[in-house]
Structure 1
Amino acid sequence: MYTPRAFAVDDLSQLHELILATRLAILVSHGAQGLQASHVPVLLHREQGEHGTLYGHLAKANPQWKDLRDGAEAMVIFAGPDAYVSPGFYPGKAEHGKVVPTWNYVAVHAYGHAETFSDGGRLLDIVSTLTDRHESNRATPWKVDDAPADYIDGMLKAIVGFAIPIDRLEGKRKLSQNRSAEDIAGVREGLAASPDFTDRTLAHLMR
């Protein structure tokens, strides 16, 4: 990922927080069938390895799991909030007009080589933990064991699990740090006034 020094995130705890804040990641690999990508929820175990380990699963019918099994390097993209930055946000637009649009965003790329597995116990642990995480804010959370056990067993047979010990992490927070204080304030105020929730989220990150 192209990351000018002003935008780089090196602190491991910040990188982990950005990963945890992303609900759906993009798993990218390259193997015998060329480039493949899948959109998947993943779990981060921070205590495992230097950078942590990512866990998730793919449908057995999805051939990408074979890339992981065969040792292809995987990249997992965690795309945080993003926002279009209008030239109209910059005070300089009225002064000299030498401004152009850009985009502010937050992202983390994690790289590693995966282990794949089909063990029912490990798969059940992953899907149960993912379910509990994403059901936690519901008034009546659904749990995996709410479904019949034989049905869940059948569903588990249709997926393949993966564990990716993270070899390296790249983080980027492009939040107008390369602009003047006046321009940063203009972008922050412009995004804060937007009716779009994600724009306002970016404005909050720029504080």
Structure 2
Amino acid sequence: MLQHVRPAVVLLLLFSALTGLVYPLAVTGIAQLAMPRQASGSLIEKNGVVVGSALIGQNFKSDRYFHPRPSATTDTDPNDATKTIDAPYNAANSTGSNLGPTSQKLVDRVKASVEAWRAMAGPGPVPADAVTTSASGLDPDVSPAAALAQVGSVAKARGLDESKLRQLVEASIERPFLGLIGEPRINILQLNLGLDRLQSS
């Protein structure tokens, strides 16, 4: 019996080492050499201090900043561990709302988001990503339309010239990869950091 068990144990240990140690370390090493910034989490720094990641959105609430799209992430209710509370952009709990198109809760939430958007951006078309959540709840980007619609309210809150702010937004647009893959988008954290630099210059 030992002659049958020994090869199985040896193979288990060998493949555990290969797939659990050697392969992950090799992939990590290659990634660090080929794409060090992305392999380290696409971190964004301000004055030498990490302020976020280009891959994970943040919840900006102030009128002085551009707002991200809504987030459906939650967290444990501090008053009752059996319940959850809304916690936008909670990176420890990436999730969508899982609400279907016939859900009254979804309809009510989108209506409230549309009203809040119109109060901020004024009348006119409402970009879909401005009132809907992403599948992860952590989307760091918005459409150019969603950012451009906020120019007036941010300019007013900061006392900035709208044309300068519009130029900043347009310069922040990331184009589709190779002109084909993906949609034009704007990273909200990077845009807001550019906004702070614009005002301090």
Q: Tell me the TM-score normalised to structure 1 length.
A: 0.28
Task: Tell me: higher relative CO, structure 1 or 2? Use CA pairs within 8 A at least 6 residues apart.
Answer: 1
Larger Rg: 2
Of Structure 1 and Structure 2, the greater helix share is in 2
Of Structure 1 and Structure 2, the greater strand share is in 1
Q: Tell me the TM-score normalised to structure 2 length.
A: 0.28
